[in-house]
Amino acid sequence: MAASRSLAGIALVVAAGACFAALDTVTKFVSASVPLLMALWFRYAFQAVATTAVVLPLRGMRALRTLHPKFQVLRGVLLLTSSLFAFASLKYMPVGEFTAIVMIAPLAITVLAATVLKEKVSAMRWALVAGGFAGTLVIIRPGGDAFNWASLLPLGLVASNAWFQVLTSKLARTEDPVTMHLYTGWVGTLIASLALPFVWTALPVWWLWAGLLFMGLMGTVGHFMLILAYQRAPAGTLTPYLYAQIAFAMLGGWLVFSHVPDGWAMIGMVMIAVCGAAGAWLTVREGRRPMETAEAAEA
């Protein structure tokens, strides 16, 4: 039974990665014609309305109950900031390279855990952080012909997303994941609405509206799949499979934009994926040690 639940969790997290890669690919396509803040508003409004329409009939107003409203708002602001960096990055960067850089977020969380939360971090974890950062430099290549200021935008996303993940892990101990999903959708929508009157523009063709709808759908479905995945399997089991999103992003970039990463970018992607997956394996191994110690003591 446990094995089947883990397999279901893995399948869901891979499917979520496909949804996020599709979201990023269409975002890059649409951003050439739609103002960034307008697209951002539409993505969050779709999530907020769709989640509310599904959740409120089932749970009523109790779905909005939270012990930490200020942290829920902060979490929503952090996710909106991450999305803003993502949309800006995708306007200028290939989808595959962007996704690979974003995937150093779990390694960035290690740095936050050591510097802010004062957690003990092993030498192996520091080596993986260094390896992931080196992979990022290989993709960005500061000083190279392919480098421009937009290459630094994903690093802003990584920083805001790392804080988002740390706060999420803290809130998840007492808060309902569905409640957290509701708040992030509505906080993002309300803040983005402040800028909407200044950026709204009539879209000349129907397929741009279809693209915005697809972005909202993929973002909403992807986040729901992640919630379902983490209800079925622990994070340590699922994290290595998050890196499948890099492959989906490369596929999307090739199909839609005919872009294939160069050799150096491929090397950087592999470095990030290997270091991230190794970090997840290390988490699982470290989690088993206390259990083995307790079992030995009982014996």
pLDDT (tens place) for every residue of the chain, 299 residues total: 667 787 888 899 899 999 999 999 999 999 888 998 999 999 899 989 988 998 888 888 888 889 899 999 999 999 999 999 999 988 888 888 888 888 887 777 777 777 776 767 778 878 888 888 888 888 877 765 656 677 788 888 888 988 887 787 778 778 888 888 889 889 999 999 999 999 998 888 989 999 999 998 998 888 888 878 877 877 667 777 788 888 899 899 898 888 888 888 889 888 888 888 887 777 666 666 554 444 433 44
Cβ contact 178:55 at 8 Å:
yes
Cβ contact 209:217 at 8 Å:
no
Cβ contact 106:276 at 8 Å:
yes
The pTM assigned to this predicted structure is 0.79
Contacts of 136 (CB under 8 A, 6+ apart): 100, 101, 104, 155, 268, 272
Burial class of residue 222, CB neighbours in 10 A (0-12, 13-18, 19+): buried
